[in-house]
Copies of this chain bind each other. A is one copy, B any other.
Amino acid sequence: MSNSNKTEKVLDILRKEFKDKVRIDIIERVLYERDATTIEIETKLPKAVIFPTTKEEVKRIVEILYNEDIPMIPRGSGSGLTGGAVPIRGDEVVISLEKMNKFSIDLENATVIAEAGAITYEIQKEVEKYGLFYPPDPSSYKFSSIGGNIAENAGGPRCVKYGTTREYILGLEGVIKYGKTFKFGARVIKDVAGYDFTRFLIGSEGTLGIITSAILRLIPLPKERRVLLAFFERLEDIGKAVVKIFTNRIFPSALEFMDYVCIQSVNRYKNLSLPEDVAGMLLIELDGNPQAVLEDMREVENLLRTMGVKVEIAHTKEEEEKLWSARRALGPAISKLGTGKVNEDIVVPRSALPEYIPAVRKLAEKYNLKCAIFGHIGDGNLHVNFLFDKEKKEDIKNVNLAVEELFKLTIDFGGSITGEHGVGITKKPFLKLQLGEIGIELIKGVKQLFDPKNLFNPGKIVDV
């Protein structure tokens, strides 16, 4: 029997069992061919899209597909940026977790049990009603799912203080090879019984199995948040300012950087009048007890002013909203600089930034691309944006070459090719540069252990 015929047969079996939870119509398949990746990638239509509603259904579906050698792609909200949730062979079945979106709050243990498809923002809104806090805030948090956030170890601006998704996952349930189920972790912060598979699955991009639910850790919601903007004439002063803030024992909840290109773009886009004749801007957020936030804010202001740095403080909630809105408008604002945009999420040690940023600009110049850089400076995570004309073949060729050089440059600076977007397919060719032979060997070994037939999200992270 040809592979294609075999797939049809298996899909028939699934449709008998799961009725209209299995979709093979062209509209549905087209809708699930893409995610939010902006770089040029080659995708293929999936054979079907399945929408399980319970973990038992996921188990049964994986059991059938795994035994019949049919590759599957677990998918949350499809907001990923590296092609992690897209079919690339044409024989895959997409398993969408979006109908599994229930969650329940366990106040006594300050935890949430969430199905993989639960929307991060829905959980955040709900727990905040009780004065509790789930910190991870990737920019997609309003529509991305917990399962997707876990698969990518999603970050966001608050990571400098609160850490990434990984720091808030206490346990996982899911399905691996042949439909075997696993359950790691518990509703407790400490657990060192055996190897840490809970954290290992975080960031594994759906290549090891399918996560069906997670135990999330909640912390008390800070009572107050305040924002100030600092404008730097010299890039090297930014790192110095962060050292001063830290060593003065103040812990900001966000340290967001924008270069002058970003400031110009956002001024035009939002009709703002932020100073443009600077090397860069830092949005500094403090949170906690209201008195403490006020006091610390004054201290940060003083520290910065003694360095000769210009400071703008939000005195009202409206002013604060205006400052954050400048940060949030960055994506669309920068997009105006070209018809095409590639947003890379590299990471370099903070100390390297004064050398790294000019090197990236030089690289953009070499390939005749516009370049806008912003990012989460507290953790060294920079979003390097190359803007180009997507109708021009030359530009597309150049941007691909520039991205390749960017990754090499990043590794030379002791950094990482991805801070929060994951490897997916777009960064796969560069992973070995960073992890070396042994890293790739170990990845392939673990993949083989969890998924000996290479059926979970095949072709992502590494080729096996």
Contacts and interface: CB of A to CB of B under 8 A. Distances in A.
Contacts of A220: 245-251
A252 B234 CA distance: 39
B190 A159 contact: yes
Contacts of A443: 194-195
Nearest to A221: B249
Query: So how many copies of this chain end up in the complex?
Result: 2
A451 to B, nearest CB: 11
B186 A192 contact: no
A202 B194 contact: no
A196 B191 contact: no
Nearest to A248: B131
B247 A130 contact: yes
Interface in A170-192: 176, 180-184, 186-192
Contacts of A195: 200, 203-204, 442-443, 446, 461
A239 B109 CA distance: 8
A459 interface: no
Interface string A195-233: 111011011100000000000001111110000000000
A71 interface: no
A251 B253 CA distance: 15
A426 to B, nearest CB: 12
Interface string A9-45: 0000000000000000000000000000000000000
Contacts of A166: 196, 199
Interface in A433-452: 434-436, 438-440, 442-443, 445-446, 449-450
A223 to B, nearest CB: 5
A147 interface: no
Nearest to A111: B349
A415 B351 CA distance: 42
B192 A422 contact: yes
A302 to B, nearest CB: 15
A153 interface: yes
A160 interface: yes
Given A167-B163, A439-B197, A442-B450, A188 B292 contact: no
Contacts of A130: 247
A194 B161 CA distance: 23
A297 to B, nearest CB: 11
Given A109-B350, A194-B439, A289-B292, A380 B188 contact: yes
Contact of A349 (B188, B248, B416, B418): B188
A87 interface: no
A113 to B, nearest CB: 11
A132 interface: yes
Contact of A200 (B161, B200, B250, B347): B200
A74 interface: no
Nearest to A435: B194
A415 B187 CA distance: 8
Contacts of A189: 159-160, 163-164, 378-381
Q: Name which of A191, A195, A246, A449 has the most chain B CB atoms within 10 A of its CB.
A: A195
Q: Which 3 A-B pairs have the closest CB atoms?
A: A189-B379, A289-B292, A190-B419
28 contacts: A106-B351, A107-B243, A108-B349, A109-B349, A110-B243, A131-B247, A132-B246, A153-B192, A160-B189, A163-B189, A166-B199, A167-B167, A176-B438, A188-B381, A188-B415, A188-B419, A191-B416, A192-B423, A193-B418, A194-B431, A194-B440, A194-B462, A196-B199, A196-B200, A196-B202, A218-B246, A220-B249, A289-B289
Interface of A: 106-111, 130-132, 152-153, 155, 159-161, 163-164, 166-167, 176, 180-184, 186-197, 199-200, 202-204, 218-223, 239, 242-243, 245-251, 288-289, 291-292, 295-296, 347-351, 376, 378-381, 414-423, 427, 431, 434-436, 438-440, 442-443, 445-446, 449-450, 461-462
Given A110-B350, A193-B418, 15 more contacts: A166-B196, A176-B438, A181-B438, A186-B415, A187-B351, A188-B349, A188-B381, A189-B379, A191-B419, A193-B434, A194-B431, A200-B200, A219-B246, A220-B251, A442-B449
